[in-house]
Structure 1
Amino acid sequence: MIPHHLAPPYRFIAFDVETASRNAHSICQVGLACVDDWGQIDTFSLLVDPGEPFSHFNTQLHGIDARKVRGAARFPEIIAAIAPLMLHQPIVQHSCFDQRAVAAACDWHGLETPSLHWVNSVTIARRAWPEFRGNGGHGLGHLKKVLSLQFQHHDAGEDARAAAQVVLHAEQKTQRGFVEIMAKRSAPVIILKPLVIDA
């Protein structure tokens, strides 16, 4: 199920899911982009049988329907296969939906949610490119254009790779590792009131 050539641990793994409907637990595809110490990205994706109907809206977004997932593994089998790989390093997601979806799917299937170290690449992008706030934003659609990323949006493997590339671009721009980017915050603005001395 997982490609044999993968060689963990990685510096980080970017992760993305697609869902069959607006139900967060209805994961129908997972994608992982494994980034090593040299910036090499190994990407793979797996279809998941959500065990419930697909909504027309979601299928229009990602092109996955019941026919495509016929014969695919269910979520418990998928998470059992990928969790050992994901436990060893930070997991990058672009927004917090992927973390919520994994937790919802685990809860839906009566499984314990893996204790993963989640990192949000939206936060990393906001700190690397503050000028995009109110000027296109930090979603993958806008970042694809301004960073010249090549990927097919709403494919879990492609979106995971894009999130990984966002992190690598942010590191290159700031000349800091993503952990340092996440930790660094702007100094608070302190407004001093005039000192009044009684005569």
Structure 2
Amino acid sequence: MNPHTQADLPRFDAGLRFVALDVETACSDPASICQIGIACVGLDNSIRTWTTYVNPQVAFSPFNTQLHGIGPAHVRHAPGFAETVALLEPLLAGQPVIQHSSFDRRAIHGACAAIGRVVPPWQWGDSVRIARMGWPEFKGNGGHGLAHLKQRLGLSFRHHDAGEDARAAAEVVLLAEERTGLGFDALLGWVRTAR
């Protein structure tokens, strides 16, 4: 497997609204990232995804491998986290980064700490929070996890694949915006300034 380059990342000449990010991990340590996926949402709400395996340089737990289907053979020739985050940082530095729950941010921060790297200054938002604003009736009635949202909102994706989960998080944001008539900034309570 050839390492990815900057040219492999999704491009939107007109610009991006936000990027959704998801990770899968090799074991219970959030820093053990073995796959990263992003879903880039253009100004026209079109979505382009990008996914890569990441060599976590730790042992895989059977539980995690059973969950997402990724094992040592998948990551043997994959880039390490340092190379992958360096590739993503220029794209994500200027965009809101949406995760579904706080796990992905913790994983990125943990993986940065594990290699002694400064954490990228990404502006994180949470699509769970957005889903709670869009569908408050799901509280106590299945919740706002991706598996339940997949069923209730008719989403089509393969759960526990980083690229697929990132796309699903992006779709949740877009559907919540449509349902509420509010942009994700308002749903998150952000006050954005012009760049």
TM superposition score normalised by structure 2: 0.92
CA deviations on 1:141-175 (whole Å, 9 max, x unpaired) are 00000100000000000000000000000000001
Corresponding residue pairs, total: 184
Task: Provide the residue aligned with 1:68 in structure 2.
Answer: 74
Name stretches of at least 5 consecutive residues in structure 2 with no aligned partner. 191-195
1:106 aligns with 2:95: no
Counterpart CA distance in 2 for 1:11 and 1:5 is 13
Counterpart CA distance in 1 for 2:9 and 2:79 is 18
Task: Provide the residue aligned with 1:146 in structure 2.
Answer: 152
Which consecutive segments of 4 or more residues in structure 1 shift more than 3 A? none
Task: Provide the residue aligned with 2:184 in structure 1.
Answer: 178
- Larger Rg belongs to: 1
Task: Provide the residue aligned with 1:25 in structure 2.
Answer: 31
Residue identity in the other structure for 2:56? P
Contact 2:99 2:124 in 1 (8 A): yes
Task: Provide the residue aligned with 1:117 in structure 2.
Answer: 123
Counterpart CA distance in 2 for 1:100 and 1:68 is 23
Task: Provide the residue aligned with 2:193 in structure 1.
Answer: none
CA deviations on 1:110-132 (whole Å, 9 max, x unpaired) are 10000000000000000111100
TM superposition score normalised by structure 1: 0.90
Task: Provide the residue aligned with 2:12 in structure 1.
Answer: 7
Tell me the secondary structure at the aligned position of residue 59 of structure 2: coil
Cα shift at 1:7: 2.6
Aligned partner of 2:22 among 7, 16, 39: 16
Name stretches of at least 5 consecutive residues in structure 1 with no aligned partner. 185-199
Counterpart CA distance in 1 for 2:111 and 2:187 is 30
Considering only aligned residues, what root-mean-square deviation do their CA atoms show, in Å? Answer: 1.2
